[in-house]
Structure 1
Amino acid sequence: MEPWELRHAVEAGRATASELGLQVDDVIVVHNSDRAALHLVPCDVLARVAPLGRLADSEFEVEVARRLAGVDAPVAELEPRVEPRVQVRDAFAVSLWTYYEPVGSEIAPADYADVLLRHHAALRRLDLDAPHFTDRVAAALREVSDRANSPELPASDRELLSGALGGLSAAISTDEDGDQLLHGEPHPGNLLNTRRGPLFVDLATCCRGPVEFDLAHAPEEVGKHYAGADHDLIHRYRALNWAMFSAWRWRQADHMPDRDHWRAEGLNRVRAALERCGLG
């Protein structure tokens, strides 16, 4: 969010929690991108505040969290002192979550694989309507194909991303027999190491697909500890994921911190991942 929008988001998070009876004396910005994560103190609540245009995403995330709480999934929980729903405040959608103090130690690959296995097992117990991961690929391809949405993307890089998104998606998404509900983006930034153990956050990315799609977001060593994973398929999904990441960074409306760095780095990662797959 831009600084002016973040200020309004902070006030929306503060006011929403206060009106629900939670004491808020201070707000600490934990993360700021297309939505803000705010630590509210002393009530010790995490507020996720998104522009109202992302209301449906916020409502979907709350529904996923609510259902996962009933199957003992290793995920962050909604704040139990308030009703589990999205609150609308001014131009923002606000959801309130339990705040977990992070533990400094790094999560070992075997532990990462174990928590992802448990999360996938919990997700298989849900009957939930979620998009297929190919819908996300198609959305990224539309951004790359529309020069008005990505005017600064050089022609050669546009061709690279279009080819990677279209070609890889077509090549690896034809068999859906093994598809299941997935986290969608279980990268290290979405796995908190807490006193309760590792917990996944950012549940709005939940989608359907093979487990290898999720594993491609995790550090490479994790896949070696995940029983039954197809490692060649993981490499292809990793290339596809970097192509999607790059497509989002070249959107004119993207506000990721250090965007210029990640524009260049994302394209480098796409090329390297394609080379590893023998598709460079």
Structure 2
Amino acid sequence: MEPADLHRAVEAGRATASGVGLQVDDVSVVHNSDRVALRLVPCDVLARVAPLGHLGDSEFEVDVARRLADVEAPVAELDPRVEPRVYVRDAFAVSLWTYYEPLGSEIAPADYADVFLRHHAALRQIDLDAPHFTDRVAGALREVDDGERSPELSDRDRAFLSDTLGGLSAAISSDRAGDQLLHGEPHPGNLLNTRKGPLFVDLATCCRGPVEFDLAHAPEDVGQHYPGADQDLIHRCRAVNWAMFSAWRWRRDDQMPDRDHWRVEGLNRVRAALDRCGTG
């Protein structure tokens, strides 16, 4: 968020927590993108604050979290001291979560695969109306194919991303027999190493698809420790993931830090992923 919006988001998070009886003496920004994550102390809450246009996504995330908590999934939990819902404050959607102090050590590939197995098993126990991953691909395609939404994307790269997103997603989704609920974006930034063990966060990306779509977000060694995973399918999913990432970076209104670097790097990652799966 831009500084003025960020200031308002911080105040919305502070006021929301204070309004439900939590003590907030200080606020620090943990993450700032299209929505922000704030640490509130001394109540030790993580407030996730999004513009009101993302209210539906915030409500979906809270619903996913509540259902997964019931089946003891390895996910971050909503703060148990307050009503588990989304609060609206000053044109922002605010949800309040337990804050977990992250451990400094990396999560080993075998442990990463193990938490995937437990998370996927938990997801199979809940009934949820979630989009298919191809719906997200379609959203990325709209950004790529509309020159007004991505005016700085060259014609050559536009065609490259469009062909990659359309062709690979169609091939991956041609057989949906093994599809299930997924996290959706379980990259290392969305898996916290905590004293309770590894916990997934950012649950608003929950979707349906093959487990390989999730595995493609993790470091490459992780998929090798996941029993029964199709390694070739992981490579194809990784190319789609990087193509979607690149599509978002070329949006006119994208606010990711160091966006210019990631615009170039994203396209390079797509090409590298395509080379790995033999379709470059």
TM over 0.5: yes
2:101 is matched with which residue? 101
Give the Cα separation in 2 of the matches to 1:222 and 1:233. 14
Q: Are 1:30 and 2:19 an aligned pair?
A: no
- SS of residue matched to 2:88: strand
The CA distance in 2 between the partners of 1:210 and 1:125, in whole Å, is 16
Structure 2 SS opposite 1:135: helix
- SS of the residue 2:185 aligns to: coil
Letter of the structure 2 residue corresponding to residue 232 of structure 1: D
Cα distance in 2 for residues equivalent to 1:160 and 1:270 = 10
DSSP-derived class of the 1:131 partner:
coil
CA distance in 1, matches of 2:277, 2:197: 34
Q: Report how far residue 278 of structure 1 moved.
A: 1.2
- C-alpha distance after superposition, 1:89-140 (max 9, x if no partner): 0110000000000001100000000001000000000011000000000000
What is the CA–CA distance in structure 2 between the aligned matches of 1:161 and 1:208, rounded to whole Å? 22
1:124 aligns with 2:124: yes
- What residue in structure 1 maps to residue 20 of structure 2? 20
Q: Give the alignment of 1:264-275 within 5 angstroms.
A: 264-275=264-275
Amino acid at match of 2:158: R
**Identity among equivalent pairs (%):** 83
Q: Secondary structure at the match of 2:30?
A: strand
Tell me the amino acid that sits aligned with residue 153 of structure 1: L
SS of residue in 2 equivalent to 1:229 = coil
Q: After the TM superposition, which segments of 4 or more aligned residues of structure 1 sit over 4 Å from their partners?
A: none
User: How far is the alpha carbon of 1:279 from its aligned partner?
Assistant: 1.1
1: distance between equivalents of 2:235 and 2:196? Answer: 31
CA distance in 2, matches of 1:14, 1:233: 44
Q: Does 1:7 align with 2:3?
A: no
Alpha-carbon shift at residue 222 of structure 1 (Å): 0.2
Task: Give yes or no for the alignment of 1:181 onto 2:181.
Answer: yes
Q: Tell me which amino acid in the other structure corresponds to 1:152.
A: E
Partner of 1:195: 195
1 CA distance for matches of 2:164 and 2:149? 19
Alignment correspondent of 1:220: 220
Q: TM (normalized to structure 2)?
A: 1.00
Residue 112 (structure 1) aligns with: 112
CA distance in 1 between counterparts of 2:275 and 2:160 reads: 13
- What is the 5 A alignment of 1:72-151? 72-151=72-151
Partner AA of 1:138 in structure 2: A
CA RMSD of aligned residues (A): 0.4
Q: Where does residue 250 of structure 2 map in the other structure?
A: 250
d(CA) in 1 for partners of 2:278, 2:77: 41
Q: Which residue of structure 2 aligns with residue 54 of structure 1?
A: 54
Q: Which runs of 5+ in 2 are unaligned?
A: none
Alignment pair present for 1:162 and 2:162: yes
TM superposition shift of 1:276 = 1.3
AA in 1 matched with 2:251: R
Q: Look up the SS of the partner of 1:242 in the other structure.
A: helix
Q: Work out the CA distance in 1 between the residues paired with 2:5 and 2:148.
A: 24
3-state DSSP class of the match of 1:235?
A: helix
How big is the shift at 1:232? 0.2
Q: Distance in 2 between matches of 1:169 and 1:212?
A: 13
Take 1:203 and 1:170, find their aligned partners in 2: how far apart are those partners?
Answer: 25
- Which SS does the other structure have where 1:49 is aligned? strand
User: Equivalent residue of 2:174, what SS?
Assistant: coil
Tell me by how many angstroms 1:275 deviates: 1.2
> One-letter code of the match for 1:214?
D
Letter in 2 for 1:268: N
SS in 1 for 2:262: helix
Paired residues in the alignment total 280
Aligned-partner Cα distance in 2 for 1:196–1:60:
25
SS in 2 for 1:228: coil
Alignment-derived partner of residue 235 in structure 2: 235
Q: Distance in 1 between matches of 2:124 and 2:81?
A: 28
In the TM superposition, residue 216 of structure 1 has moved relative to its aligned partner by: 0.3
CA–CA separation in structure 2 for the residues paired with 1:198 and 1:171: 32
